[in-house]
Protein backbone atom coordinates (compact mmCIF):
# COMPACT_ATOMS: atom_id res chain seq x y z
CA UNK A 1 0.00 0.00 0.00
CA UNK A 2 1.33 3.45 -0.92
CA UNK A 3 0.69 6.80 0.75
CA UNK A 4 -0.31 8.37 -2.57
CA UNK A 5 -3.23 5.92 -2.79
CA UNK A 6 -4.62 7.34 0.45
CA UNK A 7 -4.03 10.89 -0.75
CA UNK A 8 -5.79 10.04 -4.02
CA UNK A 9 -8.74 8.60 -2.12
CA UNK A 10 -9.06 11.70 0.09
CA UNK A 11 -8.87 13.94 -2.97
CA UNK A 12 -11.73 11.95 -4.53
CA UNK A 13 -13.72 12.32 -1.30
CA UNK A 14 -13.29 16.08 -1.57
CA UNK A 15 -13.93 16.60 -5.30
CA UNK A 16 -16.33 13.69 -5.92
CA UNK A 17 -14.92 13.60 -9.44
CA UNK A 18 -12.26 11.31 -10.92
CA UNK A 19 -11.33 13.88 -13.57
CA UNK A 20 -10.95 16.81 -11.16
CA UNK A 21 -8.95 14.73 -8.69
CA UNK A 22 -6.68 13.41 -11.44
CA UNK A 23 -5.97 17.00 -12.51
CA UNK A 24 -5.31 18.07 -8.91
CA UNK A 25 -2.96 15.12 -8.39
CA UNK A 26 -1.06 15.81 -11.66
CA UNK A 27 -1.79 12.40 -13.23
CA UNK A 28 -3.96 11.20 -16.09
CA UNK A 29 -7.47 10.06 -15.26
CA UNK A 30 -6.74 6.40 -16.20
CA UNK A 31 -3.67 6.41 -13.94
CA UNK A 32 -5.68 7.96 -11.11
CA UNK A 33 -8.43 5.35 -11.51
CA UNK A 34 -5.86 2.53 -11.40
CA UNK A 35 -4.46 3.89 -8.14
CA UNK A 36 -7.93 3.96 -6.55
CA UNK A 37 -8.49 0.40 -7.76
CA UNK A 38 -5.12 -0.64 -6.30
CA UNK A 39 -6.18 0.71 -2.91
CA UNK A 40 -9.48 -1.16 -3.15
CA UNK A 41 -7.69 -4.39 -4.08
CA UNK A 42 -5.31 -3.97 -1.14
CA UNK A 43 -8.23 -3.46 1.26
CA UNK A 44 -10.42 -6.10 -0.32
CA UNK A 45 -13.45 -3.80 -0.48
CA UNK A 46 -15.01 -1.36 -2.92
CA UNK A 47 -14.63 2.18 -1.61
CA UNK A 48 -16.33 4.08 -4.43
CA UNK A 49 -19.73 3.67 -6.06
CA UNK A 50 -18.91 4.29 -9.73
CA UNK A 51 -22.54 3.99 -10.84
CA UNK A 52 -23.44 7.45 -9.52
CA UNK A 53 -22.43 10.98 -10.43
CA UNK A 54 -21.11 12.86 -8.60
CA UNK A 55 -19.04 10.01 -7.21
CA UNK A 56 -20.19 8.67 -3.83
CA UNK A 57 -18.55 6.38 -1.29
CA UNK A 58 -19.72 2.91 -0.44
CA UNK A 59 -20.45 2.07 3.21
CA UNK A 60 -16.93 0.63 3.46
CA UNK A 61 -15.56 3.81 1.90
CA UNK A 62 -17.33 5.95 4.48
CA UNK A 63 -15.81 3.90 7.31
CA UNK A 64 -12.36 3.93 5.75
CA UNK A 65 -12.37 7.70 5.21
CA UNK A 66 -11.59 8.50 8.83
CA UNK A 67 -8.75 5.97 8.93
CA UNK A 68 -7.27 7.43 5.74
CA UNK A 69 -7.49 11.00 7.09
CA UNK A 70 -5.80 10.08 10.38
CA UNK A 71 -3.06 8.07 8.65
CA UNK A 72 -2.20 10.79 6.13
CA UNK A 73 -2.25 13.45 8.84
CA UNK A 74 0.11 11.47 11.07
CA UNK A 75 2.51 10.76 8.22
CA UNK A 76 2.51 14.38 7.04
CA UNK A 77 3.19 15.62 10.56
CA UNK A 78 6.05 13.14 10.88
CA UNK A 79 7.48 14.27 7.54
CA UNK A 80 7.28 17.93 8.59
CA UNK A 81 9.10 17.11 11.84
CA UNK A 82 11.83 15.30 9.93
CA UNK A 83 12.02 18.12 7.38
CA UNK A 84 12.46 20.64 10.17
CA UNK A 85 15.25 18.54 11.59
CA UNK A 86 16.78 18.30 8.10
CA UNK A 87 16.61 22.07 7.73
CA UNK A 88 18.63 22.50 10.90
CA UNK A 89 21.22 20.10 9.49
CA UNK A 90 21.39 21.87 6.07
CA UNK A 91 20.07 18.98 4.02
CA UNK A 92 18.50 19.04 0.56
CA UNK A 93 16.64 16.30 -1.34
CA UNK A 94 17.43 15.86 -5.04
CA UNK A 95 15.82 13.53 -7.58
CA UNK A 96 18.18 12.88 -10.50
CA UNK A 97 18.19 10.76 -13.63
CA UNK A 98 20.33 7.65 -13.15
CA UNK A 99 23.03 8.79 -15.56
CA UNK A 100 23.31 12.27 -14.05
CA UNK A 101 23.59 10.84 -10.55
CA UNK A 102 26.71 8.99 -11.72
CA UNK A 103 28.35 11.37 -14.16
CA UNK A 104 27.33 14.91 -13.21
CA UNK A 105 26.06 15.11 -9.65
CA UNK A 106 29.24 14.28 -7.65
CA UNK A 107 31.39 16.94 -9.35
CA UNK A 108 28.57 19.51 -9.40
CA UNK A 109 27.88 19.03 -5.69
CA UNK A 110 31.57 19.62 -4.93
CA UNK A 111 31.34 22.94 -6.81
CA UNK A 112 28.18 23.84 -4.91
CA UNK A 113 29.83 23.12 -1.56
CA UNK A 114 32.77 25.40 -2.37
CA UNK A 115 30.22 28.23 -2.16
CA UNK A 116 27.78 26.99 0.47
CA UNK A 117 29.94 24.94 2.79
CA UNK A 118 28.99 21.33 3.57
CA UNK A 119 25.48 20.38 2.44
CA UNK A 120 23.85 17.07 3.29
CA UNK A 121 21.96 15.46 0.41
CA UNK A 122 19.26 12.85 -0.02
CA UNK A 123 19.65 11.64 -3.61
CA UNK A 124 17.04 9.65 -5.52
CA UNK A 125 18.53 8.18 -8.72
CA UNK A 126 15.59 7.05 -10.86
CA UNK A 127 13.92 7.38 -14.26
CA UNK A 128 12.34 10.55 -15.60
CA UNK A 129 8.76 9.85 -14.53
CA UNK A 130 9.71 8.75 -11.01
CA UNK A 131 11.86 11.87 -10.58
CA UNK A 132 8.97 14.09 -11.71
CA UNK A 133 6.69 12.41 -9.21
CA UNK A 134 9.30 12.86 -6.48
CA UNK A 135 9.52 16.63 -6.88
CA UNK A 136 5.74 17.08 -7.28
CA UNK A 137 4.50 14.66 -4.63
CA UNK A 138 7.42 13.16 -2.77
CA UNK A 139 8.88 16.06 -0.81
CA UNK A 140 12.01 16.56 -2.93
CA UNK A 141 13.56 20.01 -3.31
CA UNK A 142 15.23 19.65 -6.72
CA UNK A 143 15.06 17.68 -9.96
CA UNK A 144 18.23 17.17 -12.01
CA UNK A 145 17.44 16.08 -15.56
CA UNK A 146 18.48 16.23 -19.18
CA UNK A 147 16.41 18.51 -21.40
CA UNK A 148 15.75 18.85 -25.09
CA UNK A 149 13.03 20.99 -26.74
CA UNK A 150 11.48 17.90 -28.32
CA UNK A 151 10.62 16.37 -24.90
CA UNK A 152 8.45 18.59 -22.74
CA UNK A 153 8.92 18.68 -18.98
CA UNK A 154 5.35 18.85 -17.59
CA UNK A 155 6.12 21.24 -14.73
CA UNK A 156 4.53 24.68 -14.25
CA UNK A 157 7.46 27.12 -14.64
CA UNK A 158 5.90 29.43 -12.06
CA UNK A 159 5.92 26.67 -9.46
CA UNK A 160 9.03 24.82 -10.64
CA UNK A 161 11.61 27.28 -12.05
CA UNK A 162 14.80 25.90 -13.56
CA UNK A 163 18.42 26.76 -14.19
CA UNK A 164 20.62 25.35 -16.96
CA UNK A 165 23.57 23.93 -15.01
CA UNK A 166 25.42 22.07 -17.75
CA UNK A 167 25.34 20.45 -21.17
CA UNK A 168 25.81 16.98 -22.59
CA UNK A 169 25.13 15.27 -25.90
CA UNK A 170 23.74 11.98 -27.07
CA UNK A 171 26.27 10.03 -29.13
CA UNK A 172 25.96 6.80 -31.11
CA UNK A 173 28.61 4.24 -30.11
CA UNK A 174 29.58 0.67 -30.98
CA UNK A 175 32.30 -1.79 -30.04
CA UNK A 176 35.31 -1.70 -32.40
CA UNK A 177 34.85 -5.44 -32.97
CA UNK A 178 31.70 -4.62 -34.97
CA UNK A 179 31.96 -3.38 -38.55
CA UNK A 180 30.96 0.18 -39.35
CA UNK A 181 27.23 0.17 -40.12
CA UNK A 182 26.02 0.63 -43.68
CA UNK A 183 22.69 0.62 -45.46
CA UNK A 184 23.44 -2.91 -46.68
CA UNK A 185 24.59 -4.09 -43.24
CA UNK A 186 22.98 -2.05 -40.44
CA UNK A 187 23.91 -2.75 -36.84
CA UNK A 188 21.39 -3.92 -34.23
CA UNK A 189 20.04 -0.98 -32.27
CA UNK A 190 20.22 -1.18 -28.48
CA UNK A 191 17.00 0.59 -27.66
CA UNK A 192 15.51 2.16 -24.54
CA UNK A 193 11.96 1.57 -23.39
CA UNK A 194 9.64 3.42 -25.74
CA UNK A 195 8.28 5.98 -23.25
CA UNK A 196 11.59 6.72 -21.51
CA UNK A 197 13.15 10.17 -21.74
CA UNK A 198 16.39 9.05 -23.40
CA UNK A 199 14.41 6.66 -25.57
CA UNK A 200 12.51 9.56 -27.11
CA UNK A 201 15.71 11.52 -27.63
CA UNK A 202 17.45 8.50 -29.16
CA UNK A 203 14.57 8.14 -31.63
CA UNK A 204 15.00 11.79 -32.57
CA UNK A 205 18.78 11.41 -32.92
CA UNK A 206 18.30 8.42 -35.21
CA UNK A 207 16.27 10.55 -37.63
CA UNK A 208 19.13 13.07 -38.11
CA UNK A 209 20.88 13.26 -41.46
CA UNK A 210 23.98 11.09 -41.33
CA UNK A 211 22.74 8.91 -38.46
CA UNK A 212 24.22 5.39 -38.62
CA UNK A 213 21.99 2.75 -40.25
CA UNK A 214 20.53 0.39 -37.65
CA UNK A 215 18.06 -2.40 -37.28
CA UNK A 216 15.00 -1.07 -35.44
CA UNK A 217 14.50 -2.02 -31.80
CA UNK A 218 11.41 -4.20 -31.39
CA UNK A 219 9.15 -5.30 -28.63
CA UNK A 220 8.21 -8.94 -28.52
CA UNK A 221 4.57 -8.25 -29.35
CA UNK A 222 5.50 -6.73 -32.73
CA UNK A 223 5.90 -9.32 -35.53
CA UNK A 224 9.51 -9.20 -36.73
CA UNK A 225 8.54 -9.97 -40.32
CA UNK A 226 6.25 -6.94 -40.49
CA UNK A 227 9.13 -4.87 -41.97
CA UNK A 228 11.63 -6.66 -44.16
CA UNK A 229 14.47 -4.25 -43.30
CA UNK A 230 14.31 -4.82 -39.53
CA UNK A 231 17.32 -6.51 -37.96
CA UNK A 232 16.05 -9.50 -35.99
CA UNK A 233 18.92 -9.17 -33.51
CA UNK A 234 17.85 -5.71 -32.31
CA UNK A 235 17.50 -5.32 -28.55
CA UNK A 236 15.36 -3.15 -26.33
CA UNK A 237 16.08 -2.49 -22.68
CA UNK A 238 12.82 -2.20 -20.75
CA UNK A 239 14.29 -0.56 -17.63
CA UNK A 240 15.58 2.39 -19.68
CA UNK A 241 19.00 2.52 -18.00
CA UNK A 242 21.70 4.03 -20.19
CA UNK A 243 24.29 2.24 -18.03
CA UNK A 244 22.84 -1.13 -19.01
CA UNK A 245 22.96 -0.23 -22.71
CA UNK A 246 26.58 0.88 -22.38
CA UNK A 247 27.62 -2.57 -21.18
CA UNK A 248 25.59 -4.19 -23.95
CA UNK A 249 27.46 -2.01 -26.46
CA UNK A 250 30.81 -2.86 -24.90
CA UNK A 251 30.05 -6.56 -25.36
CA UNK A 252 29.36 -6.01 -29.07
CA UNK A 253 25.59 -6.49 -29.07
CA UNK A 254 24.98 -3.46 -31.26
CA UNK A 255 24.91 0.31 -31.44
CA UNK A 256 23.55 2.53 -28.66
CA UNK A 257 22.75 6.23 -28.26
CA UNK A 258 24.32 7.23 -24.92
CA UNK A 259 25.14 10.45 -23.05
CA UNK A 260 28.70 11.45 -23.94
CA UNK A 261 29.52 11.95 -20.25
CA UNK A 262 28.80 8.27 -19.68
CA UNK A 263 31.27 7.00 -22.29
CA UNK A 264 34.13 9.54 -22.21
CA UNK A 265 36.59 7.00 -20.83
CA UNK A 266 35.55 4.22 -23.19
CA UNK A 267 35.87 6.50 -26.22
CA UNK A 268 39.31 7.67 -25.08
CA UNK A 269 40.45 4.08 -24.51
CA UNK A 270 39.02 2.90 -27.82
CA UNK A 271 36.73 0.29 -26.27
CA UNK A 272 33.84 2.14 -27.94
CA UNK A 273 33.79 3.88 -31.32
CA UNK A 274 31.64 6.86 -32.23
CA UNK A 275 29.27 6.91 -35.21
CA UNK A 276 27.26 9.69 -36.85
CA UNK A 277 26.18 13.13 -35.56
CA UNK A 278 25.53 14.03 -31.92
CA UNK A 279 22.33 15.41 -30.37
CA UNK A 280 22.87 18.24 -27.89
CA UNK A 281 21.12 18.27 -24.49
CA UNK A 282 20.91 20.71 -21.59
CA UNK A 283 21.32 19.63 -17.99
CA UNK A 284 18.64 21.40 -15.98
CA UNK A 285 18.08 21.86 -12.26
CA UNK A 286 14.38 22.31 -11.43
CA UNK A 287 13.39 23.64 -8.04
CA UNK A 288 10.21 23.09 -6.06
CA UNK A 289 9.32 26.75 -5.48
CA UNK A 290 7.24 25.93 -2.41
CA UNK A 291 10.32 24.74 -0.53
CA UNK A 292 12.23 27.75 0.82
CA UNK A 293 14.53 26.43 3.55
CA UNK A 294 17.88 28.15 3.96
CA UNK A 295 19.76 25.14 2.54
CA UNK A 296 17.54 25.08 -0.55
CA UNK A 297 18.04 28.80 -1.12
CA UNK A 298 21.80 28.42 -0.73
CA UNK A 299 22.04 25.59 -3.27
CA UNK A 300 19.79 27.45 -5.72
CA UNK A 301 21.86 30.62 -5.49
CA UNK A 302 25.15 28.72 -5.82
CA UNK A 303 23.86 26.80 -8.85
CA UNK A 304 22.93 30.09 -10.51
CA UNK A 305 26.31 31.66 -9.80
CA UNK A 306 28.21 28.64 -11.15
CA UNK A 307 26.07 28.54 -14.30
CA UNK A 308 26.58 32.29 -14.86
CA UNK A 309 30.34 31.95 -14.54
CA UNK A 310 30.42 29.00 -16.96
CA UNK A 311 28.34 30.98 -19.48
CA UNK A 312 30.64 34.00 -19.19
CA UNK A 313 33.73 31.84 -19.78
CA UNK A 314 32.23 30.26 -22.89
CA UNK A 315 31.06 33.58 -24.35
Whole-prediction pTM: 0.67
User: Is 175 found in the same domain as 276?
Assistant: yes
> How many angstroms separate the CA atoms of 221 and 294, rounded?
51
In this structure, what CATH number is given to the domain that contains residue 9? 1.10.10.10
User: What does the radius of gyration of the chain's CA atoms come to, in whole angstroms?
Assistant: 23
User: Is 194 found in the same domain as 271?
Assistant: yes
Using left for φ > 0, alpha for ψ between -120 and 50, and beta otherwise, residue 139 falls in left
- What's the chain's average pLDDT? 85
In this structure, what CATH number is given to the domain that contains residue 225? 3.40.190.10
> How many angstroms separate the CA atoms of 191 and 201, rounded?
11
User: Is 274 found in the same domain as 298?
Assistant: no
User: Is 174 found in the same domain as 161?
Assistant: no
User: How high is the pLDDT of residue 230?
Assistant: 35
> Residue 60 is part of which domain span?
3-85
User: How high is the pLDDT of residue 88?
Assistant: 58
Contact criterion met (CB below 8 Å) for 166 and 283: yes
User: Is 151 found in the same domain as 176?
Assistant: no
- pLDDT for 266-296, tens place per residue? 999 999 999 989 999 999 999 999 998 889 9
User: Is 265 found in the same domain as 231?
Assistant: yes
- pLDDT for 44-69, tens place per residue? 889 988 887 888 899 998 898 888 88
CA-wise closest residue to 249 among 241, 261, 260, 257: 257
> How many angstroms separate the CA atoms of 284 and 48, rounded?
41
User: Is 19 found in the same domain as 79?
Assistant: yes
User: How high is the pLDDT of residue 182?
Assistant: 87
User: Is 143 found in the same domain as 241?
Assistant: no
C-alpha to C-alpha distances, 84 to 77, 88, 137, nearest whole angstrom: 11, 6, 18
Which stretch of 31-35, 148-152, 209-213, 217-221 has the lowest confidence by average pLDDT? 217-221
User: Is 270 found in the same domain as 221?
Assistant: yes
User: How high is the pLDDT of residue 83?
Assistant: 65
Secondary structure letter of residue 151 according to DSSP: B
Stated as kind and residue range, the H or E segment containing 30 is helix 29-43
Q: Which residues contact 28 (CB under 8 A, 6 or more apart)?
A: 22
- CB neighbourhood size of 171 (10 A): 23
User: Is 224 found in the same domain as 275?
Assistant: yes
Q: How far is CA 155 from the centre of its chain?
A: 13
Buried b (16+ CB within 10 A) or exposed e, 46-81: ebbeeeeeebebeeebeebeeebeeeeeeeeeeeee
User: Is 274 found in the same domain as 175?
Assistant: yes
CA-wise closest residue to 122 among 104, 142, 102: 142
Contact criterion met (CB below 8 Å) for 188 and 254: yes
User: Is 262 found in the same domain as 242?
Assistant: yes
- Please count the structural domains in the chain: 3
Amino acid sequence: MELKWLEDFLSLVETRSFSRSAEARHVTQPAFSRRIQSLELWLGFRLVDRSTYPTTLTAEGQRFRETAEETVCMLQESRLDLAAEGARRRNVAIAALHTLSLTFFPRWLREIETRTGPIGTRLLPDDFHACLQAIVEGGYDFLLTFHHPSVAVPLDPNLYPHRVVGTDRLVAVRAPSLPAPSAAAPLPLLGYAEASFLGRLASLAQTQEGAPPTGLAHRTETPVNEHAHINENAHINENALAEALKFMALEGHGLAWLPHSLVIRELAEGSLVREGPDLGMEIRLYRNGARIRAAVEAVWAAAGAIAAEAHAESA
